[in-house]
Amino acid sequence: MLIDYNTIIHTSEQFDYISVRDCSKKFNFYLLYLTRPKNTNQTYNVRIDTYNKEKMEYYVSMIYPIRYSFLPVHRLSLQVDVPISKVTEKSKICPLKCGHGQCRYFSNSNKYFCQCSKGYSGMLCTIKNACDCSSDSICIEVVNNRSIYVCPLDKFGPRCYLKRTTCISNLCSNNSRCISRDEKNSEMKYFCLRSQSYMGSRCENLEIKIKFHFSKTIFIPQTIFIHFIYFPPKSNPLPKIPPDPIQIVEFHQQYYLALLQRNFTSLINILTTIIHEHRCLSIKDLFIDDIQILPR
């Protein structure tokens, strides 16, 4: 939201964020001022509120100042840390007297603000308004007789009265949660939020589990690297190497063959033991010094 010093919202944008789907995605938005030209003597900020749309619960807010207000256009490039759970409020006494609302703090600043209850707005939540969103939505503010809201996951529209129909046919399997497409930011019609132990675009496959055991002759490291190597038969650049998946474990600057999986299938739980005899020999072990110094 683009807000001024009096916490009046000029424009706002919202989108659905799912960490497993959108973690590396960049979002671009344009926030416009209410008046043209804008008041250059005014202070403006971008405020970001985060909500859990499954529980319809407020999490936390962040604020970012817009500097050099005399410029006609300002670009902000932000990396926002989205919390995975509700942020605990600070124990400090809030200096604001919020009439019909709750005092909140910004997680990235020492500033506070009043989060107004439904039907009220203003810096201290003393101005009555008529928010006409659906009863199961969260009304944030009313600007120019238009409500700013947060809809539940299965609803959309200017007042959260329209029902999403994509997930009615139960497209996701194994008790996973079907989430309809966010029109602004998602290319998929729906997304399956997987339940535990399942994978795939519709959560139709069991998740692969790999368990490693180490023989008593090997010192168990604190950190290991696992290399997965697989060449599909039609695209194998090395015909002499079998297309079966190969897993190599690396630790202590040594490599061990963990698994050569015959008759590959994705629906499998893998149990393997790392033994000393499976250590992959290095070039120094295989060739004499005269061969090792030859140009490569």
List the one residue out of 189, 140, 184, 196 whose CA is nearest residue 168.
189
- Please give the chain's pLDDT, 296 residues, in tens: 999 988 889 999 888 888 878 877 888 889 999 888 888 888 999 999 999 988 899 999 999 999 888 888 888 998 888 877 777 766 667 888 999 999 988 988 888 999 998 888 888 999 888 888 888 999 888 887 788 889 988 888 888 888 888 887 778 888 888 888 776 655 668 888 877 778 778 888 777 777 888 888 888 778 888 888 776 666 555 555 555 677 888 888 888 888 776 665 555 677 888 888 888 888 777 787 777 777 76
Long-range contact list for 215-222, CB < 8 A, 24+ apart? Answer: 215/273, 215/274, 215/275, 215/276, 217/275, 217/276, 218/274, 218/275, 218/276, 219/252, 221/251, 221/252
What does the pLDDT read at residue 31?
A: 92
pTM for this predicted structure: 0.69
CATH 2.10.25.10 domain residues, the chain: 164-206
What does the pLDDT read at residue 266?
A: 55
What is the DSSP track for 166-192?
A: GGGG--S-TTPEEEE--TTT-SSSEEE
114, 102 Cβ separation under 8 angstroms: yes
Long-range contact list for 41-46, CB < 8 A, 24+ apart? Answer: 41/69, 42/4, 42/5, 42/69, 43/4, 43/5, 43/69, 44/2, 44/3, 44/4, 44/5, 44/10, 44/69, 45/2, 45/3, 45/4, 46/1, 46/2, 46/3, 46/76, 46/78
What does the pLDDT read at residue 48?
A: 93
List the one residue out of 92, 130, 98 whose CA is nearest residue 116.
98
What does the pLDDT read at residue 91?
A: 62
What does the pLDDT read at residue 281?
A: 84
1, 47 Cβ separation under 8 angstroms: yes
Q: Token digits for 160? A: 């959260």
In sequence order, the 6+-apart residues with CB closer than 8 A to the CB of 284 are 292
Selected from 3.40.50.11540, 3.10.20.30, 3.30.300.180, 2.10.25.10, the CATH number assigned to the domain covering 164-206 reads 2.10.25.10
